[in-house]
Structure 1
């Protein structure tokens, strides 16, 4: 336990910075290598920055929420007008509000692609032919 710091040889006196010069050079080289590896990993593909992806996510959220709200509002408006002119209050409002809610959910599912919408000829909007399956 009588070893002194420095070169590691117990007979050599410690000069204070005996092994630090060699250590600092290797430390500096390792630090530069680490910096270059971190820069290589942090590089993002051109055209795909975090700001653009968050803006696209926000735009999608606004689109989906507006489609849902529009379905509910249109259903409530139709129900209110039906109640007003036919005198069936509050049943028209209740029925058409529920129908508007269902229409809003269906619009959101169509927009996200969870439900494929098809035209009357049997072709879906994505190009898949549901009527031609064998």
Structure 2
């Protein structure tokens, strides 16, 4: 059993006034003087530096979020990818559908079944492809030469 140090509470118990602590506390210098005041000043300066750095990072993130929200709300940013996909598919289906309907009507009127349907369905397919390319921006909608 370890004998009690001076000012001890009981046998085998070492009080904090024994000169060391098991937690690695280095608040005492070699002369035994307490350096809590110096450590508090360093801690305050360190906390102040960290706080200012975090404040700057937070400001940058808030600015980036504001830019993202402004880009989302910008009407010139264009439609969403889902809306763009629906538009392109509707352009294609409308071309093929119009060709099929006109071919069927032409066959009924002229009695040229199935040739009107075949020819106009193929033309509708070509028109649908052309409309998709034009809507996607791969073709110009004007027919004249560019100046």
Of the three residues 49, 52, 69, the one matched with 2:71 is: 49
SS in 2 for 1:82: helix
Q: Which runs of 5+ in 2 are unaligned?
A: 1-21
Larger Rg computed on CA atoms: 2
Which residues in structure 2 correspond to 1:110-121 (within 5 Å)? 110-119=134-143
Q: How many residues align?
A: 119
The structure where helix makes up a greater share of residues is 2
Which residues in structure 2 correspond to 1:1-40 (within 5 Å)? 4-6=24-26, 11=30, 20-40=43-63
Quote the residue 2:111 is aligned against: 87
TM-score using structure 2 length: 0.57
Note the aligned Cα RMSD (angstroms): 3.6
TM-score using structure 1 length: 0.62
Separation in 1, partners of 2:122, 2:26: 82
Separation in 1, partners of 2:142, 2:78: 30
Cα distance, 1:22–1:45 mapped onto 2, change above 3 Å: closer
Quote the residue 1:71 is aligned against: 95
